[in-house]
Structure 1
């Protein structure tokens, strides 16, 4: 018998669920027991590598390193030796068990931004050894009698495992796959997660402060309030400082009254001023919906100046930059110009000559129906909110208008 692993299965993935039913044969041709589990080590930007097998023998499990494995095929696992280390098996840091830690456990299907369950694991031989290459997340029908080896499997990298300690398990790169999801998708997953899964997901997004802020902006109010309640004032203030001012103001109203002032006092001066201004308006009005960040320039500036201002407005949300507002010297609004139209005009064109002077505006006290109807009637992606002297206070963007207008139970509809 050859001393090297049999490469015959290099191009054909094997089913873990099938292998678990078969015997482990030692170098003398004797049956040692059945395969009980498989030990793997996840790797950054690569497929997990099999480190060894756990063999059920008597009442315990015993470890056999892959260096002692001659072949793995659909019928059996064969070893090169008859000697087995009978010391009880113990999992080490950075290792996982395929059956115990993955089979039957929930994980995230990144492409579909949904929870799925792993029903089977695919193994294949590569030049560097046996690897985990895919997962079967298709729930078997009754007439398959629990078999999954005939189901199609999907690539291992399509999923995010929810392990308690990603670093210790070598899954840091796998955890980074969550950044492939949009903040709204992550928020939706968090809202459907168990307490354990929620804690793991929150730990992932916490590693990216900007992503964390974006995710919290998308959370339902009750979930956001619950999560903020569990954090210290300092942590809440740090999070709110990175959120859009209008979302931060809404979040402040959802924390307990005795915590509001301490949290506000910890905010950076600029963010605190914006939030306090927004807190002065009822949440169901244009003033409560508006964001204080917008693009406004003197009407004496050129299109080129406006486009440069767009380039420099890196802290603004993209939806706040779809409209350019022109102002008189006294700060009153004189016209609006879409970003697309600005790109179509010569850069030397003055804003006073390019802006649309037929203004469509809102007052801070206008209700949600007035705001959304006005935006729909004029096909607006943003609506300026002005005071009695036509000085700009902020803008209502279409995403905020829709969120306010759509019933809450529609916002989290399940596919």
Structure 2
């Protein structure tokens, strides 16, 4: 049966040579991350004669709760220096927060389980339940650890050279942009920098995450970047979100960021910045799928399928336009899918579509969408020329009260178990049993 030990018990335990002589005491345990496999213990950091030194795993005969037995009492007394890819369990993980990938939240690691396997000692579980405080112990409240599989977490080590060995996404690749944004808003400065370093490997994902951030968090994280770096993120954001992000920057930084944007995005952003941010004009997306009224249903469906640059939320409807983009009608994609492919759009469309003016207040837009059960509403000028389209998610983002966003989230369901990898042993029994 596999034997388990716990880091909190091991720390400061004596290191004993084969002759029983105490050589030093344990200061830390070193592991190397191995992708989907459990991290392997590669050595120990020992405190010997007032200095920290390295002991390779091969020199450790046994890890015991009372003492650590060495195969040889000979110790290299050169000062320990961390090598690339090494993770120190006490310094980097124990007492630090890690990302619970299944629940998309930051939790703290209060203890670490190590198990002896044929290939050596490996890190298998974390205890994420806070132990009882002093008065709780006096009251008889026993500590009930919450041991969870290591593969359920992504560590935030705060060590750049170690972070590189985890790959560009690691377990964070499973999270949605909104989940990553929530993590960033809860993270401290060091944690947020490491999360962003991982997200930065995918520029499109990075832009999506910044779109999901609350304005104060978005501004705080953007202000730490250069004008060119801000422009690189904003260039990939939706134009309406990009305009809001630039408006929230300090006045002195807006023009340099705008100048660094690609011409097309800069034109869109400047157009939207000319409207009140809480008006229909400030909320709208400028890219709209429009077709001539004489087009067929089949042509409209094909155009929708090829409109990969438009945000998906704006593709619920096709707008019919005439000369100078004057609004003539609207037809939803569901109606198109149910119509004769050879039919003309003017024969299946609503020829009196709901529309909003660019100066319409967002509350009035919300009422329009509610009254007419709309997912999108066109924005048109006084001459009925289509300027853009507003999506329901943008309206909700504006009208939901700020205090609602700060409510405690609903309780998470039971923890999901990570998929075991080759050779893994499921943790369906208490550790050490």
Q: TM-score, normalised by structure 2?
A: 0.85
Shift of 1:121: 0.8
Following the alignment from structure 1 to structure 2, what is the Cα–Cα distance between the partners of residues 392 and 15? 65
Task: Confirm or deny that 1:51 pairs with 2:45.
Answer: no
Deviations 1:136-178 (A, max 9, x none): 1111124568999962321222222223334445543385332
Q: Does 1:80 align with 2:71?
A: yes
Question: Does structure 1 residue 129 correspond to structure 2 residue 120?
Answer: yes
Partners of 1:183 and 1:218 within 8 A in 2: yes
CA distance in 2, matches of 1:22, 1:149: 22
**Residue 393 (structure 2) aligns with:** 399
1:177 aligns with 2:171: yes
Aligned to 1:279: 273
Show CA shifts across 1:313-342 (max 9, x none): 222211111122222355322222222332
- Matches for 1:241-252 after TM superposition, within 5 Å: 241-252=235-246
Q: 1:17 to 1:175 in 2, by over 3 A?
A: farther
Match of 1:116 among 97, 107, 113: 107
Q: Does 1:225 align with 2:216?
A: no
Q: How much has 1:90 moved relative to structure 2?
A: 2.9
Q: Say whether the 8 Å CA contact 2:124–2:149 is kept in structure 1.
A: yes
Which position in structure 1 is the counterpart of 2:322? Answer: 328
Give the corresponding residue for 1:157: 151
Residue pair 1:41, 1:169 contacting (<8 A) in 2 also:
no
How has the CA–CA distance of structure 1 residues 173 and 390 changed in structure 2, closer, same or farther, with 3 Å as cutoff?
same
The aligned counterpart of 1:100 is: 91
Query: 8 Å contact 1:292–1:395 — kept in the other structure?
Result: yes
1:273 Cα deviation from its structure 2 partner: 1.8
Mapped to 2, the partners of 1:285 and 1:373 lie a distance apart of 13
Count of residues paired in the alignment: 406
Quick one: distance in 2 between partners of 1:399 and 1:15?
Answer: 47
1:14 aligns to 2:5 (yes or no): yes
Could you tell me which residue of structure 2 aligns to residue 359 of structure 1? 353
Match for residue 427 of structure 2?
A: none
User: Which is further off, 164-173 or 204-213?
Assistant: 164-173
Match of 2:132 in 1: 141
Q: Is the 8 A contact 1:42 1:169 kept in 2?
A: no
How far residue 73 of structure 1 moved from its aligned partner, in angstroms, is 4.6
Cα deviation, residue 244, structure 1: 0.4
CA contact (8 A) 2:114 2:121 kept: yes
Q: Which residue among 39, 43, 51 is the counterpart of 1:60? A: 51
* SS of residue paired to 2:325: coil
Match of residue 364, structure 2, among 362, 370, 383? 370
**Within 5 A, what are the aligned runs for 1:262-341?**
262-329=256-323, 331-341=325-335
Gaps of 5+ in 2: 410-433
TM-score (norm 1): 0.88
Check whether the contact 2:84–2:161 (CA below 8 A) recurs between aligned residues. no
SS of the equivalent of 2:286 reads coil
Given candidates 236, 255, 259, the residue that maps to 2:230 is 236
Task: Sort the Cα spacing of 1:297 and 1:127 in 2 relative to 1 into closer, same or farther, 3 A.
Answer: farther
Matches within 5 A, 1:380-395: 380-395=374-389
8 A Cα contact 1:18 1:149, kept in partner: no
Q: Take 2:375 and 2:27, find their aligned partners in 1: how far apart are those partners?
A: 59
Aligned partners of 1:170, 1:252: CA distance in 2, in Å?
Answer: 32
2:356 touches 2:379 (CA, 8 Å); kept in 1? yes
**Does 2:36 match 1:42?**
no
Indicate if the aligned counterparts of 1:50 and 1:130 stay in contact, CA closer than 8 A: yes
In 2: Cα distance, 1:266 partner to 1:63 partner = 49
Q: Structure 1, residues 224-277: CA drift from partner, whole Å, max 9, x if none?
A: 233333333222222221110111111222223343333323322221221122
Q: Deviations over 1:1-51 (max 9, x none)?
A: xxxxxxx42xx5432222336444433344444433211112233221100
Give structure 1 stretches of 5+ with no counterpart.
1-7
In the TM superposition, residue 292 of structure 1 has moved relative to its aligned partner by 0.7
Distance 2:247 2:351 in 1: 37
